[in-house]
Structure 1
């Protein structure tokens, strides 16, 4: 009888020990998973999925579609006169351009893209550290870089080149929509502009 109690005690002890170890491992795995989720949520708060209407949804990094996605989010922040959001998105834009993979292009295209990236990173960094008027000045130059990039990389989606004749002797920007929502003037002159061309 005492042998049976002893065996039973050992079995119960073993079961409890294994359960505790299993729970501990599971907790570690859960923490790892939660860490990934919080990282994803951090990305979300940086504007990739900012709760506002997104113009384009792409996954992955290092491609021109990711850069375009971040650009459209930045444009939307300027349309909304949101200086703080535009600052956050300026940081994201700089990173997106730095991560742009140019390895699959010709040597001439690589040279063009490297020049575009260098200038776009500089414009994005200025946007991340400026008042909204200054952000809009740099957004004009950033938009030129984006238009030049799309001329090399193309776009998986139809985009529209829009043009405001009033801002700084005329300024272009890209959008997924023909609807004019002016990032250079925001609420002051929201509908100032026209469609210049459609890019497929």
Structure 2
């Protein structure tokens, strides 16, 4: 049963990712007024084209760019302490890394996150994954947007650890809510 679940999880992650952004033209044709308000929330101050900052980032390597989208999901999951979402994102990174030149170490790191027993073990493996991913992004370069190489000196038992963010504001995936803003921007990639 475990083997079936492990085999199905990457396929499910890819299907979900593809289904969530399958037809952008259909989404544009929906009534924007209805999509800007729901259950007492007024989003009228937001434009139809409002999107996370990560959407503005475009890596030169298309295959690595696809993996980057999963890296954003993984980072967000760790910031929020969401172990299950972190496993799904890391599984997708592992699958995508197999298509990226020089992505073997990235895939190995992602597999460690998927196999991790708890959120703390995921965060430890994330440090290695981030180092590998930062190296690949630097080799690829960006077509548009900017990425920030963030650093938390207290992560990994005060040895320090890096991660990538599309936002200049620090949100720490190594400590989540405990120390959300611990860290600093060390480098900007453009």
TM-score w.r.t. the length of structure 1 is: 0.64
Matched, 1:42 2:16: yes
Other-structure match for 2:97: 97
C-alpha root-mean-square deviation of aligned residues, in Å?
2.7
**Cα deviation 1:163-190 (Å, max 9, x = unaligned):** 0010121111000001110000001110
User: Greater helix percent: which structure?
Assistant: 1
Mapped partners of 2:152, 2:113: distance in 1? 20
Mapped partners of 2:86, 2:80: distance in 1? 10
Which of 54, 57, 72 aligns to 1:56? It is 54
Alpha carbons 2:13, 2:89 under 8 Å: kept: no
Gaps in structure 2 of 5+ consecutive residues: 1-11, 23-50
Alignment of 1:1-200 (within 5 A): 42-43=16-17, 54-57=52-55, 63-100=63-100, 102=101, 114=102, 117-130=103-116, 131-156=118-143, 157-168=145-156, 169-200=159-190
**DSSP-derived class of the 1:77 partner:** helix
Instruction: Report the Cα offset of residue 56 of structure 1.
Output: 2.4
Question: In 2 relative to 1, CA 65–181 (structure 1 residues): closer, same or farther, beyond 3 Å?
Answer: same
Mapped partners of 1:167, 1:82: distance in 2? 18
Gaps in structure 1 of 5+ consecutive residues: 1-37, 103-113
Task: Write out the 4+ residue segments of structure 1 that deviate beyond 6 Å after TM superposition.
Answer: 38-41, 45-48
Greater relative contact order (CA < 8 Å, ≥ 6 in sequence): 2
TM-score w.r.t. the length of structure 2 is: 0.68
User: Greater strand percent: which structure?
Assistant: 2
Mapped partners of 2:81, 2:68: distance in 1? 20
The structure that has the greater radius of gyration is 1
Other-structure match for 1:26: none
